[in-house]
Amino acid sequence: MSERSYRPVPMDPPAAARLSAACHVLDVGIGGLFVATAQTLPLGSELTVDFVLPDGSGTLRAGCEVVYAGPYPGGGERPPLGLELAFRGIALEDRLRITRFVRNRYEAQRRFTRHRVTLPVIYRHDERMVEGTILDLSLGGAFIQATRAPPLESYLGLRFDLPEAPRPVRALGRVRKVVGEEERAAEGLECTGMGVEFHELRPEDRVLIRNFLERAGA
């Protein structure tokens, strides 16, 4: 997949869209979107896409360029096929609507209360299993101490145990922030690592995390 110059937010549930046929938007950012579709187009193809945002603000239209075609990153064992589309022509009003939608989603994610913890975690990246330590945890994600973090926007398979939980928690995470040595020194942080957003988390695992956090905050 191409290296995105913007941070997308997932569409939950996927939003309706139309190329030459109906499809669904899986995520969107200020620079483009990813649509699930069986339609294949060469890289560099230009097209117009109509789509809606889950906020009910109506249909948007954008001129786009195909910059990636293939499986959707983070789509599980059988990720849907689709296209990453970069915006090349979009009305200012529609761009502002997308900006507000993305900002509201980020703010909603930040509202998750973080709890300081020390939990061993194993994460998988590029077929490698790596051990780390979760230093803070919320229902939205975690900060993992790591000497060499994967690149921004990487997807990680996570597995970690919670005290008193009957089984390990498993989740798919996306790296949203990387704290290297320079960032650690500049921001006065205690360690290097990465902020990981939970991209896929089963309801039963969410319950385990919620119960643990409620006990931790008691």
Together in a domain, 177 and 91: no
Same structural domain for residues 159 and 125? Answer: yes
What pTM was computed for the model? 0.51
- Is the predicted pLDDT of residue 212 greater than 70, yes or no? yes
Structure tokens at 96: 């502002």
Nearest residue to 197 (alpha-carbon basis) of 161, 158, 168, 148? 158
Q: What is the pLDDT of residues 58-69, one digit of tens each?
A: 889 999 999 999
Q: How far apart are CA 184 and CA 71, in angstroms?
A: 34
Q: Give the number of residues written for the chain.
A: 218
Q: Examine the domain organization and report whether 66 and 119 are in the same domain.
A: no
- For residue 215, name the pLDDT band (cuts at 50, 70, 90): confident
82-108: b (≥16 Cβ within 10 Å) or e: bbbbbbeebeeebeebbeebbeebeee
The domain boundary, picked from 110, 135, 166, lies at 110
Whole-Å CA distances, 87 to 30, 57, 65, 92, 197: 8, 19, 7, 12, 25
- Span of 26-35, 75-84, 104-113, 154-163 with lowest mean pLDDT: 104-113
For 91-107, the pLDDT digits (tens) are 999 999 998 888 887 76
Number of folded domains that form the chain:
2
